[in-house]
Amino acid sequence: MSENPITQVMLNRKSIRRYSHQPVSDEIIHAIVSAGQQAPFASQLYSVLLSRKKRHAFGAPLLFTICIDAYKISRIMEKRNWKIVSNDLTLLLFGIQDATLMAENMVIAAESFGLGSCFLGAAPYMAEKIAKQYKLPPRVFPLVQLVMGYPAENPSPRPRYPLEFTLFEDEYPELTDEMIERAMKQMDEGYIAQGYYRKGKIRIPLENDRPETYTYDNYSWTEHISRKWGQWHRSLEEILNQLEIRGFCLSRAERN
C-alpha cells in the first residue's frame, strides 16, 4: 500500500507558502479544474473563479476562489418551470459539500502535476468584496480560496492526529485523558520539531489580559488552536451579514 502513487501524493501533501515565477499552462489549469469536477457531488452547487493577473498570497501565480453557487441551478430550474423552495441552510450545507470536495480534488490533481497549493480560509468574511471584484450574481457565495503554483520550498508534511483519535469504528469511544494527551503530544512535538511557529513568527496574541506564558520553544498547535477558537468569532452577525448580502437568509421562516 505504501507504494500506491495516488496515496503517496496525498500523504506527502503540505501547504506551500513560497512559489516560483514559473507560469502554469492553460492545459494544466483546465486539467486541474476538470479533475475537481469529477469529485462526488449532490447538485454541482459550485463555481470556480480564477485570477492570474498578479502575484497572489505567498507569491503564487494562481488564485482560485471556490464558491457555493445556487444561481446556476436556479436558472436551470427556471427552464423546467421550477423555482427553489428549499431552505437556504440546506442549500448551503449541500453546497459546502460540493465545493469542498471539488477543491480537494483540485489540490490532489495539482500535486500530481508538481504544483503546490495553500488554502485561504477567510473568503466567507470577505464575500461582499469578492462579489464586487468578480461581478458575482446573487446567491453565489465565496467559500474558500486556493493559491497555487510551482513550489519554491519543500517543507515536511504537517503532523496529524494519531489514527486512534480519528478513526472510530462502530461507535464514538470515550476519549480518555491518555488518548487526548497522546494526540496533543503528537501534534505539538511534530510542530515544534519542524519549527513551524518559530519560522513563521506565528503566535495569536492573548486577549482579556491573560498573561503570556509561552515562547516559541513551547508554543505549538494545541495552544495555537485553543487561542484561535477560544477568542475569535463569538458573534454570528458578521458571517450572517455576508450571507444575507449574497442572497442567503438563514432564519426559521419558510421560503416563499
Q: Convert the pLDDT of each residue in 122-138 to its tens digit.
A: 999 999 999 999 999 99
Sheet holding 140-149, edge to edge: 46-51, 62-69, 140-149, 116-120
pLDDT of residue 252: 63
Residues linked to residue 117 through DSSP beta bridges, in sequence order = 15, 148
- Please state which of the four CATH numbers 3.10.310.40, 3.10.129.10, 3.40.109.10, 3.20.20.80 is assigned to the domain occupying 5-154: 3.40.109.10
Q: What is the mean pLDDT of residues 202-227?
A: 95
Q: pLDDT category, 3, cuts 50, 70, 90? A: confident
Domain residue ranges of the chain, discontinuous segments joined by +: 5-154, 163-231
Q: Per-residue pLDDT for 255 more than 80?
A: no
Q: pLDDT category, 253, cuts 50, 70, 90? A: low
DSSP-H helix ranges across 46-87: 71-79
Answer whether 155's CB lies under 8 Å from 53's CB.
no
Q: Tens of pLDDT along 17-65?
A: 999 999 999 999 999 999 999 999 999 999 999 999 899 999 999 999 9
Please tell me the distance from the alpha carbon of residue 154 to that of residue 131, in angstroms, as a whole number.
34
Global pTM? 0.92
Please tell me the distance from the alpha carbon of residue 146 to that of residue 215, in angstroms, as a whole number.
31
pLDDT of residue 205: 96
The residue written with cell numbers 500500500 in the block is 1
Q: Per-residue pLDDT for 213 more than 70?
A: yes
Q: What is the mean pLDDT of residues 161-168?
A: 97
Q: Per-residue pLDDT for 254 more than 80?
A: no
pLDDT of residue 43: 96
Q: pLDDT category, 208, cuts 50, 70, 90? A: confident
Q: Per-residue pLDDT for 1 more than 90?
A: no
Answer whether 197's CB lies under 8 Å from 219's CB.
yes
Answer whether 197's CB lies under 8 Å from 220's CB.
yes
Helix then strand then coil, in percent of the chain rounded to 5, is: 45, 10, 45
pLDDT of residue 104: 97
Q: What is the mean pLDDT of residues 171-197?
A: 97
Q: Tens of pLDDT along 100-130?
A: 999 999 999 999 999 999 999 999 999 999 9
pLDDT of residue 151: 98
| Percent of the chain with pLDDT strictly greater than 90 | 91
> Residues for the chain: how many in total?
256
